[in-house]
Structure 1
Amino acid sequence: MNLTQLHMWSQMEPVNQTEWNSTECPSIDDFRNQVYSTAYSLITVLGLVGNGLALVVLIKTYRQSSPFHVYMLNLAVSDILCVMTLPLRVLYYVNKGQWNQGDFLCRISSYALYVNLYCSIYFMAAMSITRFLAIVFPVKNLQLVTENRARIVCGGIWVFICISSSPFLMTGQHFDPLTNKTKCFEPPKGGAVQKLVTLNYLSLVLGFALPFLVILLCYAGIVRTLVSRNSSTRRQQDTGSKAIRMIVIVLLTFLISFMPYHVQRSVHLSFLSRKDTACSERVAMQKSVVVTLCLAAANSCFDPLLYFFSGEGFRSRLSSLRKSVSGNSARRTARLQPNRGSQSRENQQLKA
């Protein structure tokens, strides 16, 4: 049993009413289908627009690369890959829990969402460490933090997250005889809940608490350094403002997206091991699964804010890209104008 098998119990779908050994509780299928289809549709649009624009800017201005730029690029790629699979989830819930897209796409859709979730956490931790070193140890930072080392770190994150999430590729669609439908994104039935509760705490530490603690320590060091500075140059002020914006955005992302999901997952698994739960508690717990999973998927919408407000020169990159595009169009227009002028002169000569 590993980290990803644990996720599949706790977050993918509310457990069917029959699994609670109760037939009296009302079904939340309508609530689930409406919330998931609406939320995933909004996340798809916002995520594709925001991260698509960021990816274009980062690729077009790659000559201005830096370690922070490398992390932003990898984070944008992770978000794009994730949101591209969300329309498949929308179709599933619009069809009221009927999966028609085949076993392979079912596996990829489950896999992509959680690869993005934990890649985002680790990339944010890496970006926070990079900003910490740049502000607290500016001299050593020039030697410690390089683009090549940033690429190695990103490669390590991708390998670690992709391997630890690989069991999602092992579980695909299945036929549910109770509803006579082909299902996807459903949790496995049966199993030792108590063992999953124990494994949950292990994954909670490695997948969320540890990187979050690293981020908090980095931000504490950044704030302490910024406060203790006696004289600030213009450049130091700009670096400090970028760091503060980054702190605000990353902490909001954790508080809104990552923390509710991980807290609810722990509560949910503990709840499954209880025998004395009331119907109202079961319904509330199932609805909380829906809400927190939507919030976790919405992390793709917060990342473009990180690029725009705290990325190194991202707005200047965007401005330079816009100027280069307008300059190219102006040059094309200039090339066409002499041709049109020469044609008019030739026509006048012919008339004469």
Structure 2
Amino acid sequence: MEQVNVTGDVGRNSTNCPSIDDFRNQVYSTSYSLITVLGLVGNGFALAVLIRTYRQSSPFHIYMLNLAVSDLLCVMTLPLRVLYYVNKGQWNQGDFLCRISSYALYVNLYCSVYFMAAMSVTRFLAIVFPVQNLRLVTESRARLVCAGIWLFICLSSSPFLMSGQSFDHTTNKTKCFEPPSGKAVNKLVVLNYLSLGIGFILPFLVILICYAGIVRTLLSRKHTARRQRGTASKAIRMIIIVLLTFFISFMPYHVQRTIHLNFLSRTDTTCSERVAMQKYVVVTLCLAAANSCFDPLLYFFSGEGFRSRLSSMRHSVTVNSKRHVARLKPVSGSECGESHQLKDS
């Protein structure tokens, strides 16, 4: 499943078209900076809570933990992209970091899709097949699923490690994250359809089927216990957040990427069409990278006991800090005098 890096300014073969370099550099540098801050704070905080409460582990908890790790690995490479676009398309960080930063973004993108699909299946089994769920969904199986997702996505995204920095003789700059050109476009069009089907459409269909089953089951239950109502509300919140993430981050990027690659293979395009297409690529890739900021909402609003985990962690931190202060609290002068009087008496 080879993804296609279609960032950057395309259409250099048409010298009459205005460049979007200024637009691209400003939007990418601003967006990636904001995503880095929000992603580090949100996912870092969520990861701290999940690790501190690991004794309360569950299959859903394991998926959340892996999703947070994936997001953090991604946002930690975004500052390299910020530097590149702040320097107006000049890459100074070396070939290895160019490959890794491209690779990390797409590994996170597709790991997020598959971890969300796994979480949706887990919630589906818990609601639609509660009895079988106790036997089918276990922590050990969840770990195996996570390992399989990491292995599959890391291997299928490996083509990003094959292409690194390049030197542009037109601008005399070392480039990274630049789009394909020439004969490579036709090959990438075919590979894009493979990644579109396996990396996006397949897991998205799984998610839609699971949500349809969840909604149907919830609507068929006229009388539910209090505990079941809590599970239902978490499921509804999860459906809303995941679908919003797909419709805001994943779907626009994949649709635009497919249109863009087919657009690059055409020879009858106008200058205004090329400029518009380039700007759409910039916007949709920023939206795709922003999925790291939406995932903490998934943990807080639909994670199994995430808010209770947060409360228990906060309580344990408060108790430990009070004990620490009590041990370090100095004895006052009056207390010393009173102790001496007791000894004299």
Question: With structure 2 as the length reference, what TM-score do the two structures score?
Answer: 0.96
Work out the CA distance in 2 between the residues paired with 1:56 and 1:50. 10
2:238 corresponds to 1:230: no
Contact 1:33 1:96 in 2 (8 A): yes
| SS of equivalent residue, structure 1 residue 274 | coil
Candidates 189, 194, 205, aligned match of 2:186: 194
Give the share of equivalent positions with the same residue, in percent: 77
Q: Which residue of 2 aligns with 1:7?
A: 4
Work out the CA distance in 2 between the residues paired with 1:191 and 1:12. 18
Q: Which residue of 1 aligns with 2:258?
A: 266
Residue 198 of structure 1, CA deviation: 2.8
Candidates 162, 167, 170, aligned match of 1:178: 170
Q: Aligned partner of 2:34: which letter? A: L
Work out the CA distance in 2 between the residues paired with 1:141 and 1:218. 14
Q: Aligned partner of 1:13: which letter? A: G
Unaligned runs of 5+ in 2: none
Candidates 331, 334, 338, aligned match of 1:340: 331
Task: Evaluate the alpha carbon distance shift between residue 187 and residue 333 of structure 1 in structure 2; reply closer, same or farther with a 3 A threshold.
Answer: same
Matched length: 342
Residue 336 of structure 1, CA deviation: 3.0
Q: Aligned partner of 2:251: which letter? A: M
**After TM superposition, which residue ranges in structure 1, 4 or more long, deviate above 3 angstroms?**
192-195, 341-344, 346-350
Q: Aligned partner of 2:213: which letter? A: G
Q: Which residue of 2 aligns with 1:205?
A: 197
Residue 13 of structure 1, CA deviation: 2.2
Larger mean CA deviation between 76-85 and 172-181 belongs to 172-181
| SS of equivalent residue, structure 2 residue 200 | helix
Q: Which residue of 2 aligns with 1:320?
A: 312
2:8 corresponds to 1:17: no
Q: Aligned partner of 1:102: which letter? A: G
Residue 199 of structure 1, CA deviation: 2.7
Q: Which residue of 2 aligns with 1:152?
A: 144
Residue 277 of structure 1, CA deviation: 0.8
2:49 corresponds to 1:52: no
| SS of equivalent residue, structure 2 residue 331 | helix
Work out the CA distance in 1 between the residues paired with 2:55 and 2:41. 23
| 1:223-242 alpha-carbon deviations (Å, 9 max, x no partner) | 00000002111100000000
Structure 1 residues 24-43: aligned runs within 5 Å: 24-43=16-35
Candidates 69, 73, 78, aligned match of 1:86: 78
| SS of equivalent residue, structure 1 residue 35 | helix
Residue 65 of structure 1, CA deviation: 0.2
2:208 corresponds to 1:219: no
Unaligned runs of 5+ in 1: none
Work out the CA distance in 2 between the residues paired with 1:173 and 1:276. 30
Q: Aligned partner of 1:7: which letter? A: V
2:56 corresponds to 1:64: yes
Q: Aligned partner of 2:285: which letter? A: L
Q: Aligned partner of 1:298: which letter? A: A
Work out the CA distance in 1 between the residues paired with 2:183 and 2:60. 43
Contact 2:4 2:188 in 1 (8 A): no
| 1:323-350 alpha-carbon deviations (Å, 9 max, x no partner) | 111111111122234x515884159749
